[in-house]
Amino acid sequence: MKADIAVVGSGLAALVATRTLHQAGRNAVLIWPGLSSLYFTYATIDVLGYSDLTTTRPVEQPEAGVAQLIADHPDHPYALAGLEGLRSGTTLLIEWLRAAGFAWQGDLGRNLLLPTAIGTPKPSCLVPDSMAAGDLRRDDPIVFCGFHGYEDFVPELAASNLSRSWGRGEHSVRAVRITLPSFEPGNLFTSIDLARSFEDTTFRREVASRIRREIGVDGVRVGIPAVLGLTHDTDVYSSFAAEVGHPVFEIPTLPPSVLGLRLFDRLRKHIQESGVEMIWAAPAHEAEVSDGQCRRIFLKSAGREQPIEARAYVLALEDTVDGALRAGVHSMVDPFFHEALAHHEMPTERTDESLFKPQPYASIGYRVTRRLQPSDDAGRPLAGNVFVAGGAIAGYDPVGTKSRGGLAIATGYRAAQEAMAA
């Protein structure tokens, strides 16, 4: 198979890179290796939540924070992608979300501070409308609402934790639980089960009525697990909030997140409807390089290897989720050039014993040039027409700084621009 530019990846960086190429009129093919990182995300776009891995003070203005980060760390992936890459990529994504039927809000000028499922504040830049009422910069009290039989959200835990870090008085955060209609007592059910049920008008109205009676007071906002519709989420959310009679906000729960499913499925469908060809569940595992150029890559498909020939390639990979890194006992190797990205005498050196400290494995990835080309130890490109985007770039921890979304956008956009120039 031949294409102008091939994008390999299954996350936001791959989608942004592909959309950038498509909008520029290029013939791109998107190679989706398998499991998507979007299923495991919080389903917000986090540009920069914390300036480094040691601070607990959230960044209030993400664009200004990124500009300072670039000034302080000129080799950081944000510096390589450039502030303009972040701005242009964010504009492209916001316009794409709107075209795909999403209702989102936010901008690079400020972060919202949203409660997580365990009641900890989390800074986010771009968020679905259904989450915005949870912004902790507002003063109105919060009621966390859970459901009997649903174990992925414990409202009492969320209320207890949030009251210690945010509470505006004795009764500013509390928890309630209600019994859902048509769900038998004692039965366990999933987020997917609930999301499908909430698309039924009768079910939704009865749940809203029960929440309204349980709360019993005015002037509060209601936080519920993110289950307000699996596909028709905008209509479900707006009608449910009106029926509850209070501001309502969704809270992402354990993966697979319904919000992540909504984001992935809608963008994937929209990009296919736009005419972009996608190759599914075919991990790329080899690059054929000659004269400093990648001539083709090989995909693992049923019963055979499938070669893909393109003029340029974007490796928009997301760590180990989509096969970007292969971990052995002592080394971590990339699947294309078979370069050792890290070596450890003991595998335990890749992790810290504390879950609350930076993890060494999070910073392992491709060394890249100023043009985001994968490079060897001496800084020479492994292939002049290959460019890297996303979480597989070495030298930073996007989870600890809450910057995965912004870095995916900035590097995905910049890598696509470089691929077109190549």
For 232-267, the pLDDT digits (tens) are 778 999 999 999 999 999 999 877 788 888 888 888
- Residue 273 has a pLDDT of 93
Q: What is the pLDDT of residues 159-205, one digit of tens each?
A: 999 999 886 665 699 999 999 998 877 777 889 999 999 999 999 99
The full set of domain ranges for the chain reads 2-102+263-421, 141-246
Alpha carbon distance 306, 282 (integer Å): 9
**Considering only the top CATH level, what class is 2-102+263-421?**
alpha beta
* pLDDT at 356 exceeding the cut of 70: no
Who contacts 117 (Cβ-Cβ below 8 Å, separation ≥6)?
Answer: 152, 153, 154, 158, 225, 251, 252, 253, 254
Q: What is the mean pLDDT of the chain?
A: 90
pLDDT digits (tens, 9 = 90+) for 269-296: 899 999 999 998 778 878 999 999 999 9
pLDDT at position 35 over 70: no
Which structure tokens are listed for 2?
Answer: 């031949």
Is the pTM higher than 0.95? The answer reads no
Q: How far apart are CA 93 and CA 97, in angstroms?
A: 6
Q: 129, 240 in Cβ contact below 8 A?
A: no
Q: Which amino acid is at 264?
A: F
Band the pLDDT of 320: cuts 50, 70, 90: low
